[in-house]
Chain A
Amino acid sequence: MITFIIRRLIATVFLLIVVSMITFAIFFLIPRLAGQNTYQLATEYVGRNPTRAAVLQVEAQLGLDHPLWLQYWNFLKGIVAGAHYNSGTTSTYCPPPCFGYSFRSQQPVWPQMVSDLPVTLSLAIGAAVIWLVAGVAIGVISALKRGTLFDRFSMGVALAGVSLPIFFTGLISLELFSYKWPLFPNVQYVSFLTNPYLWARNLVLPWICLAFLYAALYARLTRAGMLETMSEDYIRTARAKGLPERTVIFKHGLRAALTPIVTIFGMDLGLLLGGAIITEYTFSLHGLGLFTILAIQNQDLPEILGVTMLAAFFIVIANLVVDVLYAYVDPRVRH
């Protein structure tokens, strides 16, 4: 297992390098191939009515006048060894992993992402717990009570959950429970370390909205998996051997049905850790999702590059964890 993990970690590093190369090429190389020169690129980061001298100063300040390979090398070097930045009166050291300096704010990208990370982690993990527990439980019960009122009702709600986007459920919940009847007033992120109660209270609405979307999907997936599993021969054999129904359901039925759930859960959580963009935007939460939106709006290439790398990292790690979990969920994998 350890060899397996080490091998995957090495592959992860190579994968991240490839992701960085592709992202760098998309934002730095392709515009040049399309005819944009570095002067035009620098003009995007100067105020209105710039003189030529001003644009050239900015071009030099941002390092855009260097060859592309050197810019990319400096980026990689910063991640591994950190980088120094001349802020004017002082030289600021950006420790590794230094993802470069924002073209807009002229501040290192990594600390900005790190300060946004707790918001996204709080949001994603809290919502994940809710949707996993609720989605799987509803799916199992629906499968076992197939055709009943509960089954039909829960699958109807699940269909609504899959269909209703977060920007709708989010605004509805805010309108009802924050503005009109302020059960959750003035929703904003408060650190868990500062005030655990406010942390939880202010995240309840985002958690529920996000979990509603995913729980619906998980309930349907679990239901389908359980229905299929529970009609397998070995389930009938288990029952014939006189095993208790609880053991049949949870040890033999659910365990097999969970395999695809674990896969998709890893992917979903990995994606969300890279930023729950719409949820964060709707609830004005300063997480990596909002950071991503702003980086794109501002055409802040180092920020785009940084957040892409971080999102890719989460997805790759989530996949690795899923692969490890697979071995436990499905004994066949171990052999």
Chain B
Amino acid sequence: MRRRRTIVLPALAAAAALALAACGSSGGSSGGGSSSSAAAGFNAAVTKVVNPSSTKGGTISFGNSSAPDSTDPGNTYYAYMWNFVRLYTMPLMTYKSCPGACGLQVVPDLATGPGVVSDNGLTWTYHIQPDVKFEDGTTVTSQDVKYAVERTYDRGKFPLGPAYFPLLLAPQKPAYPGPYKDRSKNLMGLNAVQTPNATTIVFHLAHPFADFNYVVAIPQTAPVPPDKDTGANYQLHPMSTGPYKFQSYQLNKQLTLVPNTYWKASTDPNAKQLASKITMTMNMNANDIDNRLLAGDLSVDAAGTGVQAAARAKVLSSPSLKASSDDPLAGFTWFAALNTTLKPLNNIHCRMAVEYAASKTGYVDAYGGPVAGGAIATTVTPPNVVGHKTFDLYQGASMPGGNVAAAKQQLKLCGQPNGFTTGITYRSDRPKEVAAAQSLQASLARVGIKTSLHGFPTATYDSNFAGVPKYEAQHDIGISFYGWAADWPDGWGFFFYIVDGKAISPAGNTNLAQLNDPKVNDLLNKMALTNNDATRNSYTSQIDMQVMKDAAILPGVWAKSLLYRSPNLTNVYVQPYYGMYNYAVLGTK
């Protein structure tokens, strides 16, 4: 799952910021400092390019309320970083730079075309562009891509990025440890990746995997020259192949990018080199970021998760500010996993009782309402996952307050006519999730389901509590709050880690429902084996339907983010895969 970085804000500061919202410009001020053009309109950048321009020059300043997990393309899992690294990297594949559904297409980036898969589905071959250069002028070769993949095997050095290559590529004995241990032996020692010539790279898989083009669109295939690799320090200056390169980086404070003179627009049509400088200031106060955005001192909120409550009030109450904002689907679903192994929730009717009794209105309100929070979710996948179909098995949309009668009926079928007791876990440092848990507790109480609330810090939620099946069993945890976005926008990319039985692990588990339904597992397996796009994508809604029939997940909210679009920016649009503005194409007036 691409991680949506949520920063714990001191609650007191948030309260003060809310109080100050009234002090702000609720009148006609458009903010954005020196903007001279009229705002394009609310949600304009969701479907079209706002301020299209090829004007060069200026500085784009990003403000970030956290720091990147890593600026090393091989070691990052934050959604906004996958967006941002396109400014200085070119992975084999990427997402087409365009608004609307067009932006969900995976297209070649460093590669000349999509991967060519062998008949048995076990081999994927890519040819790379012969004239792409690193920032020092040396030509990128297929060996640089292979080396980038090799690095991901050393989880000690790079623990934060996804681990699809060790999972999918053919294993070797002894297991490949990455290129650092015994460098003379292991450098270029990954047998599952072959480079027959300087422009060809061949991946040998352990099992057929039809989504492999998506896997190589993860920044981990951005080439790394072995002689320039500095291991854990590479994050301080990754070698650029994109339109910009690192000029300076003060770790977790300030990053400055300047144009990469060896980059050519002809080899990288999904990115632009317009601004003469890009900066990212990290670990800023989130409310400060919003205010600086509105004042025109900042160009973009890097996290791309929307403005805070105080600025939200300003933006929504001012027509001119609202006209410079967008409210796209973020690609996230906030949900509660229902533990399928724990009594009495191991009985499907008890889980269905929870599905019916839950108030979706309360869930959405807890997340900030329909504009800033999101829409009522009736399926696990949000609409911007390829193959999604909307359905409503438990009347979440038609009866958003919950269907108490249907819930009580299910409780009878479950053998618990008077309800039952169970525990709810949630991340206590996420106020919206706390409110959602309290809302669910209240709505379940209406049908006699008594719940106890157990809040834990985000940092240890997966490792010690909700993600530890043994802990859940010992403490009678039947419901766990969570959120999920796809690593790539199709059904497999969304579902595997949250519903496949193979994904259940003793710690750090993300299949919180501990669902091990052979039908679901089989559908995911078929999806992995089907190369035909239309057939493969049809499995998405089938999996979704089966998970909902299993009542393993209570979908709550399809997340939305209220993004403020600085009027000074050009080429602004929401890339639907990221659910935020496409950072690779921005310019400034």
Q: Which residues of B contact A297 (CB under 8 A)?
A: 7-8, 459
4 other A-B residue contacts (CB within 8 Å) besides A89-B229, A104-B69: A58-B156, A88-B233, A171-B287, A185-B295
What residue of chain A has the Cβ atom nearest to residue B510's Cβ? A49
Query: Which of the segments B104-112, B162-170, B356-364 contacts the partner chain?
Result: B162-170
A284 at the interface (CB under 8 A from B): yes
In the bound assembly, the distance between CA atoms of A48 and B1 in angstroms comes to 7
Instruction: Give residues of chain A (102-128) contacting chain B, Cβ–Cβ below 8 Å.
Output: 104-107, 112, 115
Among A51, A176, A188, A284, the most chain B Cβ lie within 10 Å of the Cβ of A284
Residues B281 and A53 in contact, CB atoms below 8 Å apart: no
Q: Which residues of B contact A178 (CB under 8 A)?
A: 291, 295
Residues B232 and A88 in contact, CB atoms below 8 Å apart: yes
Residues B10 and A54 in contact, CB atoms below 8 Å apart: no
Partner among B25, B229, B230, B506 whose Cβ is within 8 Å of the Cβ of A180 = B25
Residues A174 and B288 in contact, CB atoms below 8 Å apart: yes
Partner among B1, B17, B231, B294 whose Cβ is within 8 Å of the Cβ of A89 = B231
- Can you report 14 residue pairs joining A to B where beta carbons are below 8 Å apart? A40-B464, A43-B464, A43-B508, A46-B155, A47-B159, A47-B163, A50-B159, A51-B163, A53-B155, A53-B175, A54-B166, A57-B159, A182-B295, A282-B288
Instruction: Give residues of chain B (145-169) contacting chain A, Cβ–Cβ below 8 Å.
Output: 154-157, 159-163, 166-167
Residues B283 and A284 in contact, CB atoms below 8 Å apart: yes
Residues B464 and A58 in contact, CB atoms below 8 Å apart: no
A237 at the interface (CB under 8 A from B): no
B507 to chain A, nearest CB (A): 5
Contacts A51-B167, A53-B175, A171-B13; is A45 near B159 (CB within 8 Å)? yes
In the bound assembly, the distance between CA atoms of A297 and B70 in angstroms comes to 16
In the bound assembly, the distance between CA atoms of A118 and B433 in angstroms comes to 38
Instruction: Give residues of chain A (163-208) contacting chain B, Cβ–Cβ below 8 Å.
Output: 165, 167-168, 171-172, 174-176, 178-180, 182, 185-186, 188
In the bound assembly, the distance between CA atoms of A168 and B20 in angstroms comes to 9
Contacts A39-B507, A179-B291, A278-B10; is A46 near B159 (CB within 8 Å)? yes
A273 at the interface (CB under 8 A from B): no
Count of A-B contacts judged by CB separation below 8 Å: 181
B24 at the interface (CB under 8 A from A): yes
B185 at the interface (CB under 8 A from A): no
Partner among A52, A89, A167, A180 whose Cβ is within 8 Å of the Cβ of B16 = A167
Among B12, B13, B175, B234, the most chain A Cβ lie within 10 Å of the Cβ of B13
A212 at the interface (CB under 8 A from B): no
Residues A89 and B463 in contact, CB atoms below 8 Å apart: no
In the bound assembly, the distance between CA atoms of A285 and B287 in angstroms comes to 14
Instruction: Give residues of chain B (507-543) contacting chain A, Cβ–Cβ below 8 Å.
Output: 507-508, 510
A301 to chain B, nearest CB (A): 11
A260-293 contact mask (Cβ, 8 Å, vs B): 1 or 0:
0000000000000000001001111010001000
Partner among B17, B155, B460, B467 whose Cβ is within 8 Å of the Cβ of A171 = B17
Instruction: Give residues of chain B (212-251) contacting chain A, Cβ–Cβ below 8 Å.
Output: 229-235, 250-251
In the bound assembly, the distance between CA atoms of A52 and B504 in angstroms comes to 12
Q: Which residues of A contact B468 (CB under 8 A)?
A: 40
A57 to chain B, nearest CB (A): 4
Residues B157 and A188 in contact, CB atoms below 8 Å apart: no
What residue of chain A has the Cβ atom nearest to residue B2's Cβ? A48
Q: Which residues of B contact A283 (CB under 8 A)?
A: 285, 288
In the bound assembly, the distance between CA atoms of A102 and B155 in angstroms comes to 16
Contacts A55-B507, A90-B231; is A47 near B283 (CB within 8 Å)? no
Residues B161 and A47 in contact, CB atoms below 8 Å apart: yes
In the bound assembly, the distance between CA atoms of A294 and B68 in angstroms comes to 12
What residue of chain B has the Cβ atom nearest to residue A294's Cβ? B283
B20 to chain A, nearest CB (A): 5
A299 at the interface (CB under 8 A from B): yes
What residue of chain A has the Cβ atom nearest to residue B164's Cβ? A49
Q: Which residues of A contact B288 (CB under 8 A)?
A: 174, 282-284
Residues B160 and A284 in contact, CB atoms below 8 Å apart: no
Q: Which residues of B contact A61 (CB under 8 A)?
A: 156-157, 159
Residues B459 and A299 in contact, CB atoms below 8 Å apart: yes
In the bound assembly, the distance between CA atoms of A188 and B230 in angstroms comes to 31
Binding site for B on A (CB under 8 A): 36, 39-41, 43-55, 57-58, 60-61, 86-90, 92, 104-107, 112, 115, 165, 167-168, 171-172, 174-176, 178-180, 182, 185-186, 188, 278, 281-284, 286, 290, 294, 297-299
Q: Which residues of A contact B231 (CB under 8 A)?
A: 86-90
In the bound assembly, the distance between CA atoms of A272 and B297 in angstroms comes to 29
Partner among B16, B162, B233 whose Cβ is within 8 Å of the Cβ of A92 = B233
What residue of chain A has the Cβ atom nearest to residue B497's Cβ? A49
Q: Which residues of A contact B70 (CB under 8 A)?
A: 105
Partner among A47, A51, A115, A281 whose Cβ is within 8 Å of the Cβ of B13 = A281
In the bound assembly, the distance between CA atoms of A74 and B250 in angstroms comes to 27
Residues B154 and A88 in contact, CB atoms below 8 Å apart: yes
Partner among B3, B12, B230 whose Cβ is within 8 Å of the Cβ of A87 = B230
Contacts A283-B288, A299-B459; is A49 near B13 (CB within 8 Å)? no
Q: Which residues of B contact A53 (CB under 8 A)?
A: 155, 166, 175
Q: Which residues of A contact B12 (CB under 8 A)?
A: 165, 167
Residues B160 and A171 in contact, CB atoms below 8 Å apart: no
Q: Which residues of A contact B295 (CB under 8 A)?
A: 178-179, 182, 185
Instruction: Give residues of chain B (253-309) contacting chain A, Cβ–Cβ below 8 Å.
Output: 253, 281, 283-285, 287-288, 291-292, 294-295, 297
Partner among B3, B8, B232, B507 whose Cβ is within 8 Å of the Cβ of A106 = B232
B180 at the interface (CB under 8 A from A): yes
Contacts A48-B1, A282-B285; is A88 near B155 (CB within 8 Å)? no
Q: Which residues of A contact B287 (CB under 8 A)?
A: 171
Residues B180 and A44 in contact, CB atoms below 8 Å apart: no
A300 to chain B, nearest CB (A): 9
B537-581 contact mask (Cβ, 8 Å, vs A): 1 or 0:
000000000000000000000000000000000000000000000
Residues A57 and B155 in contact, CB atoms below 8 Å apart: yes
Residues B462 and A185 in contact, CB atoms below 8 Å apart: no
Q: Which residues of A contact B17 (CB under 8 A)?
A: 171
What residue of chain B has the Cβ atom nearest to residue A168's Cβ? B16
In the bound assembly, the distance between CA atoms of A299 and B463 in angstroms comes to 12
B30-74 contact mask (Cβ, 8 Å, vs A): 1 or 0:
000000000000000000000000000000000000010110000
Residues B163 and A286 in contact, CB atoms below 8 Å apart: no
Partner among A43, A49, A106, A290 whose Cβ is within 8 Å of the Cβ of B157 = A106
Residues B508 and A88 in contact, CB atoms below 8 Å apart: no
In the bound assembly, the distance between CA atoms of A168 and B231 in angstroms comes to 44
What residue of chain B has the Cβ atom nearest to residue A281's Cβ? B285
B503 at the interface (CB under 8 A from A): yes
Contacts A89-B183, A282-B13, A297-B8; is A44 near B157 (CB within 8 Å)? no
Q: Which residues of B contact A168 (CB under 8 A)?
A: 16, 19
Q: Which residues of B contact A49 (CB under 8 A)?
A: 1, 162-163, 497, 503, 505, 508, 510
Residues A294 and B67 in contact, CB atoms below 8 Å apart: yes
A193 to chain B, nearest CB (A): 15
Residues B283 and A290 in contact, CB atoms below 8 Å apart: yes
Partner among B159, B163, B251, B497 whose Cβ is within 8 Å of the Cβ of A112 = B251
Q: Which residues of B contact A44 (CB under 8 A)?
A: 459-460, 463-464
What residue of chain B has the Cβ atom nearest to residue A101's Cβ? B232
Partner among B7, B20, B160, B457 whose Cβ is within 8 Å of the Cβ of A46 = B160
Residues A48 and B162 in contact, CB atoms below 8 Å apart: yes
B77 at the interface (CB under 8 A from A): yes
Contacts A167-B13, A297-B8; is A55 near B281 (CB within 8 Å)? no
